[in-house]
Amino acid sequence: MPDILYDEIPSLDLSDFTSGDMQRKRKFVDNLGAAYNNIGFVAIKNHYLTDDLSSRLYDVIRKFFALPDSVKQKYEIPGLAGQRGYVGKGKEHAKGRNTGDLKEFYHIGQEVEDDDPIKIEYPANVWPDELPEFKEIGLEVYRRLENTGVQMLRAIALYLGLPENYFDDKVHHGNSILRPIHYFPIENPEGVPADAVRAAEHGDINLITLLMGASADGLQVLRRDGKWIPITALPEQLVVNVGDMLERLTNKKLKSTIHRVVNPPRDKMNTPRYSIPFFMHPRSEMSLAALPSCIDAKHPKLWPDITAGEFLDERLAEIGLKKK
Within 8 A by CB and 6+ apart from 71, the residues are: 128, 130
4 assigned to some structural domain? no
- Could you give the CA distance from residue 95 to residue 318 in angstroms, rounded to a whole number? 5
Query: Could you report the per-residue pLDDT of 194-242, keeping only the tens digit for each?
Result: 667 777 788 899 999 999 876 567 888 888 788 898 887 677 899 999 9
- Strands 41-45, 11-13: pairing is parallel
Tell whether 324 is covered by a domain. Answer: no
Position 21 pLDDT exceeds 60: yes
The count of domains in the chain is 1
pLDDT at site 193: 65
Residue 2 has a pLDDT of 44
CB atoms within 10 A of CB 113: 7
Provide long-range contacts, Cβ within 8 A and 24+ apart, for 129-133: 130/63, 130/64, 130/67, 130/71, 131/60, 131/63, 131/64, 133/56, 133/60
Distances (CA, A) of 79 to 60, 76, 321: 26, 10, 10
Where does residue 312 rank: exposed (0-12), middle (13-18), buried (19+ CB within 10 A)?
Answer: buried
pLDDT tens digit string along 92-140? 766 666 667 788 999 999 999 999 999 999 999 999 999 999 999 999 9
- Cα(180)–Cα(208) distance, rounded to whole angstroms? 17
Is 2 contained in some domain? no
* pLDDT, average across residues 309-313: 94
Q: Averaged over 40-55, what is the pLDDT?
A: 93
pLDDT of residue 1: 33
Tell me which residue range forms the domain holding 77. 11-318
Q: What is the pLDDT of residues 152-183, one digit of tens each?
A: 999 999 999 999 999 999 999 999 999 999 98
Q: What is the predicted pLDDT for the residue at 232?
A: 73
Residues contacting residue 285 through CB under 8 Å, at least 6 positions apart: 307, 308, 309
CATH of the domain at 298: 2.60.120.330
Whole-angstrom Cα distance, residue 318 to residue 160? 30
pLDDT tens readout for residues 258-275: 888 887 777 777 888 899
